[in-house]
Chain A
Amino acid sequence: MLQVDGLSVRYGAVEALQGVSFQARDGEVTAVLGANGAGKTTLLRALSGLVRCRAGSATLDGTGLIGRQPEAIVRMGVAHVPEGRGVIPELTVEENLRLGALVRLRRSERRDAIDGIYDVFAPLRARRRRPASSLSGGERQMLAIGRAIVAKPTLLLLDEPSLGLAPTVVAHTMELLRTLSGRDGLSIVLVEQNVRSALSVASWALVLNLGRIVVADRPERVNEDADLRRHFLGF
Chain B
Amino acid sequence: MGLFLNTVLNGVSEGMVFAAIALGLVLVNRATGIVNFSQGAMGMMTTFVAYSLLSGGIGYWPAFVVALAAGFFLGAAVELIFIRPLQGKSPLNPVIVTIGLLVVLEGIAGSIWGVTSRGFPPAFSQRGLRIGSTRVAFSTFDLFIVAAVIVLMAVMIAVFRWTDVGLRMRGAAFSPEVARLLGVRVGRMFTLGWALAATAGALAGLLAAPISSFGPYYMDLNLVYGFTAAVLGGLLSPVGALVGGLVTGLCISLVGGYLGGNLEPLGALALLLAVLMARPQGLFGSAKARRI
Contact = CB atoms under 8 A, between A and B. Distances in A.
Contacts of B186: 71
Given A74-B181, A99-B179, 17 more contacts: A50-B181, A71-B180, A80-B181, A82-B181, A86-B177, A87-B178, A90-B170, A91-B167, A91-B170, A91-B174, A95-B167, A98-B167, A99-B171, A102-B167, A102-B183, A103-B182, A103-B183
Contacts of A48: 181
Closest 3 CB pairs of A and B: A103-B183, A74-B183, A86-B178
A89 B288 CA distance: 12
Interface residues of B, number: 17
B168 A102 contact: yes
With a 10 A CB-CB cut-off, give which of B175, B181, B186 has the most chain A CB atoms.
B181
Given A71-B183, A103-B183, A82 B171 contact: no
Given A71-B185, A99-B167, A102-B168, A50 B175 contact: no
A199 to B, nearest CB: 26
Nearest to B171: A99
A12 to B, nearest CB: 16
Contacts of A98: 164, 167
Nearest to B188: A71
B172 to A, nearest CB: 10
Interface in A46-104: 48, 50, 69-71, 74-75, 79-80, 82, 86-91, 95, 98-100, 102-104
A88 B177 contact: no
B181 A99 contact: no
Interface of A: 48, 50, 69-71, 74-75, 79-80, 82, 86-91, 95, 98-100, 102-104, 147
Contacts of A75: 183
Contacts of B174: 88-91
Contacts of B170: 90-91, 95
Interface string B212-236: 0000000000000000000000000
Interface in B138-171: 164, 167-168, 170-171
A50 B186 CA distance: 13
B161 to A, nearest CB: 9
A22 B180 CA distance: 26
Contact of B164 (A50, A80, A102, A104): A102
Contact of B177 (A50, A69, A104): A50
Contacts of B184: 71, 99, 102-103
A75 to B, nearest CB: 6
Given A99-B171, A102-B167, A102-B168, A82 B183 contact: no
Interface in B113-147: none
Contact of B181 (A86, A90, A95, A102): A86
A171 B272 CA distance: 53
A5 to B, nearest CB: 23
B38 to A, nearest CB: 27
A89 B174 CA distance: 8
Nearest to B185: A71
Contacts of A69: 180
6 contacts: A70-B180, A88-B171, A88-B175, A88-B178, A90-B170, A99-B171
B168 A99 contact: yes
Nearest to B289: A90
A79 B180 CA distance: 11
A128 B183 CA distance: 22
Nearest to B164: A102
A86 B184 CA distance: 14
B256 to A, nearest CB: 39
Interface string B28-51: 000000000000000000000000
A221 B184 CA distance: 41
Contact of B182 (A50, A74, A89, A90): A74
A91 to B, nearest CB: 6
Nearest to A79: B181
B166 to A, nearest CB: 10
B168 to A, nearest CB: 7
A75 B177 CA distance: 16
Contacts of A147: 182
Interface in B177-219: 177-186
| A70, A87, A95, A99: most-surrounded residue (chain B CB, <10 A) | A99
A104 B186 CA distance: 16
Nearest to B180: A70
A79 B178 CA distance: 11
Contacts of A95: 167, 170
A48 B179 CA distance: 13
